[in-house]
Structure 1
């Protein structure tokens, strides 16, 4: 580097230094004004954050469980449709809990105290399983006959049938399937058997065992 080059770098730096010192004499460039005293310092980060990549999908997988088409996925998808997954809600028609059970269905399952049911998440989960077992028994022949077929533009699957039975009862599902979509009943809010057959198609509900006498026991 030549003498003129050094001069060209040094002179502007000195000028900037003097200007900063004149404008901020009490703080800027004065290390006495900077201190970590009294601050709670933590230089550790979690292992998850340390190992996470910058890829958005990789980061989101840390926090978002992917249930896919599993039975848990089926339960949670249906619960979200029914109540946004809220155990303690009662709709305008008096249907209760996460899966929106009516009192008549609860009585079939051996539950006679709706208030106890509403505030007991474990009881609600057991009721969902027992109801699915009962519906699967009632619809066992229809599942064998219609599963895999196209009806009213919808591929019929076992999970779709069980979801529709949860919505409208197994009798309404039988009527829909046996009329090949001609009898498409709906609930008071306009949700139809066909819409549930389609929306909840393809989940794994093989763990549900058909049981004519399924009831809830605590």
Structure 2
């Protein structure tokens, strides 16, 4: 992703959205944020994606996360398309769409943030925005980025899982293993000495025996989000 690295302060851009004019940092406040782009409005995969994001919006809210969509379409198209998404979700007609969608029809943000997919183009030959995901922390720093091509729909349950891991590890000196889910055991990083680990993790630390004899696979029950 050109110009953006994990830990960088995310640009405090200002843009028009379906919730009105927004300045990113002001809109996020003390919340986490997920900014995600999609190729075009009124397209099949994008409709299923934003439909799923809308269904899961209460789960993101529980985690103090604000969702923000973005594409290179105009604001009027976003408003019209959101009605299709709500119908796809069998939501009540007239219901408010649960999160803003940014209108970037001049392609300023998608170019600045490296969100374009050069392999997928519109009818005029212009590249479409890819399916990019940025997770932004309350400190306005980039915590995670995922870039999917336009042809591959995302899994928003996985994005929720990633946020659970990010929020847990932001306040605890642990790591989450493959396929981790909230409530599962977590891993003790190798940088923590055994004597310190026993103090940090009173619930206990257990080590898996390996042929190498190295004691690096250490597990402990998941601590509460702010335990340490």
- TM-score computed with the length of structure 1 as normaliser: 0.20
- Rg comparison, structure with higher value: 1
The structure richer in helix per residue is 1
The structure richer in strand per residue is 2
